[in-house]
Structure 1
Amino acid sequence: MSKQSNPEQLLQSILQNVQVGGDLTTGDINQILNLLVVFPNTFKTVGVPHNVPYSATVKFVGRTEVLKSLQQLLQQNKRIAIAAIEGMGGVGKTELATQYSLLHLLLQTYPGGICWLLARDEDVGIQIVRFAEVKLGWKVPENWDLAKQVDFCWSSWPEGDVLVVLDDVNDYSQVEPYLPPQLSKFKVLMTTRLKLDSTVTPLTLDVFNETEALELLSNWVGAEKVSKELVIAKDISQRLGYLPLALNLMGRYINKRKLFLPVALRRLEEKGLRHASLDVNKDDRTWTFNVQRGVVGAFELSWEELSDNAKQLGYLLSLFALAPIPWEIIKSVDIGQNVEELEDSRVELENLHLIESNEIYSTMHQLIRDFFQDKLTIFPEAEQLKKTFASVIAKISKKVPDTYSITANFIYTFAPIIPHIKEVSYYLSTYLADKELILPFKALGFIYENQLLYSQAEKLYKYGLNICQQRFKTDHELVATNLNNLAYIYKIQGRYSEAEVIYMQTLEMRKKLLGEMHSPVAQSLNNLASVYRKQKRYVEAETFILQALSIRQSLLGKNHIYVAMSLNHLGKLYYEQERYSEAESFYIEVLNICESLSRKNHPFKARNFDDLALLYKAQHRYSEAESLYLKSINIKKCLMGNEHITVAQSFNNLSLIYYLQGQYNKAEYLCLEAISIYEKKLYSTHPDMVECCENLENIRSAMISINPA
């Protein structure tokens, strides 16, 4: 390309050719990649929703043909294109997928968006829903299970081709249920170490050949040096197994130390180590390749370049999940370094390509994380570091409010921390102090409950229960708390018999541990009463609610939110038995408590308004019911947004109040508002949707009867 060439015009000509069906050649790709190196700030991508990760690669080496082949694979399939980049760790699978995504983001090949999903350590379904909410601005139905939420996302996706990238698939059966439908607009690209079955079109990504390896090495140490010491450069490449990650690390090492290549080779030969993650059996399903000795030698050489502080940061980073690591959490773990020292340590790790960072997050390659973890096993203070780290995550977990108080904004803000709480829950819980043990499980469970991901919450609570039982051996309050959380998951799904058994077990355990007069005992009584009420076992329910209320009033006084909750349960119980005057008195008492506690915008207060309004409707006190529904709607909008499912429920309830009073225009308007929200969040046969549509039909029939055409 001459100096006079206009990079924007050149890109535009390539773009126009591709858009009319022309082939994207290796020459085109090379030109674009060169333009990006020479004019990095010239090209901006706008209008395409994506979450493609950051790439620090200055010059992409040795994969131009693969990029072309990948494009052909993804476009040739007339149904769904699943091209799996298979290969061993460190060959650059993720980097290739990243460069392909960035290239075609620039070319606007996928106007429908590029959705990047981490397939190894995070739930793919949850990530798809998160992309739809954050990047597409949707409100995904909250009361559906995860599979239906994902189906909703795929079926509602905007027009235009879409690229879905599943990075680091280690269990295809876990991601297969979430793949998009068999529509030609969806192109699926996976990176994996696995050999997948014949239903997936593979693109095997091998290590570099010798020419490519030398080119990459030349980028770091200079073409002249490689040319003068070509035999030695070839030996270094061979010793590194032509592995791109190892070549990058070694190249940086040589460049930084300004070494002659024979010296670098001798040091590499002296290390002679192989990483365990690359030493695998060819007969298993993990992709294998006969890697040359010396791959981990490159890691060792880089490790030796680090200061003690940087090594200590490496130990800490190895404890996090394999996901973006928020720097705010890193800074909150006391490893004896101030903020500036931590920044210096981070720069050291970045300079040797051991991590990639920006202002907010740091990320690691799987092999580097494994390497750091291996080093941690010989770190004298490893046990204390794990305890410190686990304790910090437990404190962060404590910030998660109860299920009903979690807002959409909280989930969005807290999402980057969730993988690391999960890591501690499943792999580092033994390092939590007794009082901290339940906190990560409780936090994750509340988040899953709020998102209606009950199966995930159940699995988590069962695991946490097992951990608590192993540690405490006998009855313990934390065991009881875990049992209580598990029972709630059963109750909310209508599995009342299972919930009752566990709630009863929890009650007996708490009585034994704490005595009769204690708040957790009252909680268990209240929960059991709720299960009995759901089963219309009203006598038993009333007995348990009254016991819970008595305990709470004795311990907490009459003006407490927990007392209000028991009174509200009692009001519901009497309402369902048509004991309206008794129910009303309790609902009013609940409202007075809420007002006295200044809980202006609290979900429980909105529920109280709804319950009392329903009672007034049954008594034909429509104007009072109307006022309460309007107050409930204002609270829900403030907390959950204008299009939350509970707002739609209040719209529908209020429309019935207007319908019963003959105010059909108001009733029709609110019913249509409710249906508009339901259509975005519910499937057409959902009971709430069906009920709302039937209400609209009744309203319109009434309108016709009084004003026939």
Structure 2
Amino acid sequence: MTNHSDSQVPRQEIFKNVQANGNITVGNITQIYKTVNNLGELPKPTGFPQNIPASNTDKFVGRERELERLHQHLQSNHSVVIAAVEGMGGVGKTELAIQYSLLHLQLDNYPSGICWLRARESDIGLQILEFATTDLGLQPPEDLELPERVRWCWQHWRQGETLIVFDDVKNYSHVKPYLPPQPSQFKVLITTRLKLDLASSLFLEVLSETDALLLLAQLIGEEKQNQELALAKELCQRLGYLPLALQLVGRYVKKRNITLADMLKRLEEKGLGHPSLVVKENDPTWTLNVKNGVAAAFELSWSELSDDAQQLGCLLSLFALAPIPWSLVEGAATEQDSEELEDARVELENLHLLQGGDTYQLHQLIQEFLRNKQNNLVNADEQKDNFCKALVEVAQSIPDSPTLQLITSVKDAIAHLAEIAQNLTDAVSDENLIWVFAGLNRFYSGQGLYAIAEPWCQQCVSVVQTRLGEKHPDVATSYNNLAGLYDSQGRYSEAEPLYKKALELRQGLLGEEHPDVASSYNNLAELYKSQGRYSEAEPLLKEALELRQGLLGEEHPDVATSYNNLAGLYKSQGRYSEAEPLYKKALLLRQRLLGEEHPDVATSYNNLAGLYDFQGRYSEAEPLYKKALLLMQGLLGEEHPDVASSYNNLTGLYKSQGRYSEAEPLYKKALLLRQRLLGEEHPDVASSYNNLALLYKSQGRYSEAEPLYKKALLLMQRLLGEEHPSVATSYNNLAEL
């Protein structure tokens, strides 16, 4: 607590300087609050009519700029000025108005009185009369009606600037008849949960992390906070930086003398229902003048909502704590008329329960409050079902190779899909269950973000197995997807048993004649090819091609993929004359079926170019490599493993032609991209080390080549095993050096 005697002199000097200057700045206000925690602690000047209520806080922090702006609004001209402080329940609107009133009481800016009115109560007119008679000594005629008596008071008020505060206005039309006349000496300050859209409205946000920590430290002690700083930050975040919540929880921690870890655990168990966040009637001992707990503060806003707005609030609570696209809300509320839905949204916005424009956001404690309400809805299960269906539709729209454009179009839905995966799988139907995780996997692994995709694939196996049992096609798919992720990361020994499990399950459940069985053959074969196990790969690739042709017909993207993959095997074996017609077939099919602007078409260009490159047909290879690179950059963005591969391939061509100055920066680009996207432990990174070493060797830069060759060899041995052809090549390269 501040020592008043030590700080009194500088504080009085600040007040005098401000009074002389006639204008108060953020700097002045900051200086004042550095010398005193709360202006309510100061002796109030005598001779001023005022009924400012007691402060609700020990320490007032983080609102200096708002206090300055508020004064600017109120002093903008000499007619009646109405400034409104708007915001959600618990954000500190009333406290800001109290501190503003106390500050300008000390500065003598409202010499004719500061009149505080409790606007949520119905007797506003009587409150004005009481202040006028008790504090100003006015005697309005008894024979007038209440509105006329109030008007008489305004007319006979003592001369000089006056501040009238209407605190917690819930209906502006109820206040309007009691506003002072214009032009006049009166400045009117309104605090409200409503969105009034006045020219001088000030929207009050939650505290910054810095100010929230400052407030918490004042309540629990700086030493305790410094000892548990990481937990203090977590607690502030858990409470959404809401001043009311921080006040209540901080006092609870201090009173109980518990650790912040304990407090977080208790909040996790009981949420808004925890005693720290509930203010009991007739128990002001540790809550000062706070009358409502957090849930009770929100309840005041909830009670103002129509049934439709309450329903929408409950639906919004199911979304993650992330921006919510309105299109997703419409998708989840299909039974409601779009205009009625908009009306409900406007109600929530008007009470500051919802913020946003194209996307919307709930404060986390409001979300928690609304989730509690949602659990008690008669149609709670139906609402969850519709919510999940809307997000599953998004998941199903994500292809295996999503373009940058598609990634951008669905990215705002991903956090909400993850929310379902984490907390709402019980509300997802059996047939849609796998799609929740498949959508997340495709979104992340399609961008090369394998580390983020992995836990979703692992969770998918667990959740789908538990729900559907081992003998189910979706379990096979979940094995396949996890294997594919490991395969993409070069983790072949982990991928193989999962691919085999998926194949066996599919054969047993679906029979041999099924597209999913063909996919399993293809995936296992591609794994073998990556490991140099060509004799095992070839029959599986042929089996996959024949199955797909028979089941899907020639005109199908999966058939094109089979042609492409079989061609790749032949190229790896040096069977170029067999590979070329298959690569061309795959390219033509993909162009016809998918259009030119597709990642698979870019892959076909790249693969055909690679074949020509291997054969020394550089003039045919270069334009195809460049086409592939431009397509991939446009479709996938610069930060993608396939773009890194394109750089690498084009660079290999330049090296083969002796165009070293063009090759080196691209090799380095490819290496850095692969390291960033795939991590150090990946075969493609080893390949990049090897290729850059080859370039240096070709230029006679042997001292630079050797460490890269060694790095590549060690990585390949560790990742691919000693028996892989690439390891043999690495030994050979190092030996030739």
TM-score (normalizing by structure 2): 0.58
Match of 2:523 among 509, 520, 527: 527
Corresponding position of 2:595: 599
Compared CA separation, residues 673 and 447, structure 1 to 2 (3 A) = closer
Of residues 59-68 and 383-392 in structure 1, the stretch that sits farther from structure 2 once superposed is 59-68
Which structure has the higher relative contact order (CA within 8 Å, separation 6+)? 1
Match of 2:68 among 35, 48, 53: 35
Does 2:690 match 1:694? no
Cα deviation for residue 96 of structure 1 reads 5.6
Does 2:612 match 1:616? yes
Q: In the alignment, residue 66 of structure 2 is paired with which amino acid?
A: L
Alpha-carbon contact 1:335-1:385 (below 8 Å) kept: no
1:578 alignment partner, SS class:
coil
Give the distance between the partners of 2:402 and 2:234, measured in 1 at CA. Answer: 44
Corresponding position of 1:193: 264
Compared CA separation, residues 335 and 242, structure 1 to 2 (3 A) = farther
Compared CA separation, residues 58 and 343, structure 1 to 2 (3 A) = farther
Does 2:565 match 1:569? yes
Cα deviation for residue 544 of structure 1 reads 0.8
Cα deviation for residue 67 of structure 1 reads 3.8
Q: In the alignment, residue 95 of structure 1 is paired with which amino acid?
A: L
Give the distance between the partners of 1:647 and 1:600, measured in 2 at CA. Answer: 17
Give the distance between the partners of 2:95 and 2:234, measured in 1 at CA. Answer: 18
Corresponding position of 1:629: 625
Cα deviation for residue 500 of structure 1 reads 2.6
Alpha-carbon contact 2:447-2:641 (below 8 Å) kept: no
> How do residues 545-584 of structure 1 correspond to structure 2 at under 5 angstroms?
545-584=541-580
Does 2:332 match 1:329? no
Give the distance between the partners of 1:623 and 1:600, measured in 2 at CA. Answer: 22
2:584 alignment partner, SS class:
helix
> How do residues 206-605 of structure 1 correspond to structure 2 at under 5 angstroms?
238=284, 246=292, 299=299, 302-334=301-333, 336-350=335-349, 355-402=353-400, 404-407=401-404, 409-473=405-469, 475-597=471-593, 599-605=595-601
Corresponding position of 2:99: none
2:440 alignment partner, SS class:
helix
Cα deviation for residue 385 of structure 1 reads 2.0
Q: In the alignment, residue 35 of structure 1 is paired with which amino acid?
A: E
- Deviation digits for residues 42-84 of structure 1 (CA, Å, limit 9, x no counterpart): 9xxxxxxxxxxx989574848979648879x99xx99x98582
Alpha-carbon contact 1:609-1:632 (below 8 Å) kept: yes
Cα deviation for residue 340 of structure 1 reads 3.2
- Deviation digits for residues 587-629 of structure 1 (CA, Å, limit 9, x no counterpart): 2222222233363122222222322323222222222222221
Of residues 572-581 and 363-372 in structure 1, the stretch that sits farther from structure 2 once superposed is 363-372
1:614 alignment partner, SS class:
helix
1:405 alignment partner, SS class:
coil
Corresponding position of 1:95: 242
In structure 1, list runs of 5 or more residues that go unmatched: 18-22, 43-53, 100-189, 197-205, 214-233, 252-297, 703-709
Compared CA separation, residues 86 and 595, structure 1 to 2 (3 A) = closer
Compared CA separation, residues 40 and 339, structure 1 to 2 (3 A) = farther
Aligned residues: 516
Q: In the alignment, residue 84 of structure 1 is paired with which amino acid?
A: A
Compared CA separation, residues 679 and 473, structure 1 to 2 (3 A) = closer
Cα deviation for residue 672 of structure 1 reads 6.5
Alpha-carbon contact 2:444-2:450 (below 8 Å) kept: yes
Cα deviation for residue 33 of structure 1 reads 3.1
Give the distance between the partners of 2:479 and 2:277, measured in 1 at CA. Answer: 53
Q: In the alignment, residue 441 of structure 2 is paired with which amino acid?
A: G
Give the distance between the partners of 1:537 and 1:549, measured in 2 at CA. Answer: 19
Give the distance between the partners of 1:40 and 1:248, measured in 2 at CA. Answer: 30
Q: In the alignment, residue 398 of structure 1 is paired with which amino acid?
A: Q
Give the distance between the partners of 1:358 and 1:237, measured in 2 at CA. Answer: 37
Compared CA separation, residues 598 and 473, structure 1 to 2 (3 A) = closer
Cα deviation for residue 388 of structure 1 reads 1.8
Cα deviation for residue 584 of structure 1 reads 2.1
Cα deviation for residue 577 of structure 1 reads 1.7
Q: Which has the larger radius of gyration?
A: 2
Compared CA separation, residues 5 and 482, structure 1 to 2 (3 A) = farther
Give the distance between the partners of 1:351 and 1:239, measured in 2 at CA. Answer: 34
Q: In the alignment, residue 505 of structure 2 is paired with which amino acid?
A: M
Alpha-carbon contact 2:568-2:579 (below 8 Å) kept: yes
Alpha-carbon contact 1:55-1:95 (below 8 Å) kept: no
TM-score (normalizing by structure 1): 0.60
Compared CA separation, residues 401 and 547, structure 1 to 2 (3 A) = same
1:84 alignment partner, SS class:
helix
Give the distance between the partners of 1:556 and 1:373, measured in 2 at CA. Answer: 46
2:242 alignment partner, SS class:
helix
Give the distance between the partners of 2:607 and 2:289, measured in 1 at CA. Answer: 65
Give the distance between the partners of 1:453 and 1:65, measured in 2 at CA. Answer: 34
- Deviation digits for residues 99-148 of structure 1 (CA, Å, limit 9, x no counterpart): 9xxxxxxxxxxxxxxxxxxxxxxxxxxxxxxxxxxxxxxxxxxxxxxxxx
Q: In the alignment, residue 459 of structure 2 is paired with which amino acid?
A: Y
Alpha-carbon contact 1:318-1:369 (below 8 Å) kept: yes
Q: In the alignment, residue 69 of structure 2 is paired with which amino acid?
A: L
Alpha-carbon contact 1:675-1:692 (below 8 Å) kept: no
Compared CA separation, residues 327 and 537, structure 1 to 2 (3 A) = same
Cα deviation for residue 660 of structure 1 reads 2.5
Give the distance between the partners of 2:455 and 2:440, measured in 1 at CA. Answer: 11
Q: In the alignment, residue 490 of structure 1 is paired with which amino acid?
A: Y
Give the distance between the partners of 2:237 and 2:632, measured in 1 at CA. Answer: 48
Match of 2:232 among 79, 84, 87: 84
Cα deviation for residue 5 of structure 1 reads 6.5
2:232 alignment partner, SS class:
strand
- Deviation digits for residues 570-593 of structure 1 (CA, Å, limit 9, x no counterpart): 112122222222122322222222
Alpha-carbon contact 2:245-2:294 (below 8 Å) kept: no
- Deviation digits for residues 362-412 of structure 1 (CA, Å, limit 9, x no counterpart): 44444443443333344322222222222122112222221x2242x5444
Q: In the alignment, residue 395 of structure 1 is paired with which amino acid?
A: E
- Deviation digits for residues 415-472 of structure 1 (CA, Å, limit 9, x no counterpart): 3322221222233333333432222111011123234444543432333334333444
Give the distance between the partners of 1:195 and 1:627, measured in 2 at CA. Answer: 64
Alpha-carbon contact 1:89-1:367 (below 8 Å) kept: no
Give the distance between the partners of 1:458 and 1:509, measured in 2 at CA. Answer: 22
Corresponding position of 2:647: 651
Give the distance between the partners of 2:318 and 2:484, measured in 1 at CA. Answer: 32
Give the distance between the partners of 2:678 and 2:474, measured in 1 at CA. Answer: 37
Alpha-carbon contact 2:403-2:636 (below 8 Å) kept: no
Over aligned residues, Cα RMSD in angstroms? 4.9
Identity value in percent: 35
Alpha-carbon contact 1:484-1:506 (below 8 Å) kept: yes
Give the distance between the partners of 1:542 and 1:630, measured in 2 at CA. Answer: 30
Corresponding position of 2:713: none
Alpha-carbon contact 1:622-1:657 (below 8 Å) kept: yes
Of residues 672-681 and 651-660 in structure 1, the stretch that sits farther from structure 2 once superposed is 672-681
Of residues 360-369 and 238-247 in structure 1, the stretch that sits farther from structure 2 once superposed is 238-247
Compared CA separation, residues 665 and 467, structure 1 to 2 (3 A) = closer
Compared CA separation, residues 347 and 643, structure 1 to 2 (3 A) = closer
Compared CA separation, residues 55 and 650, structure 1 to 2 (3 A) = farther
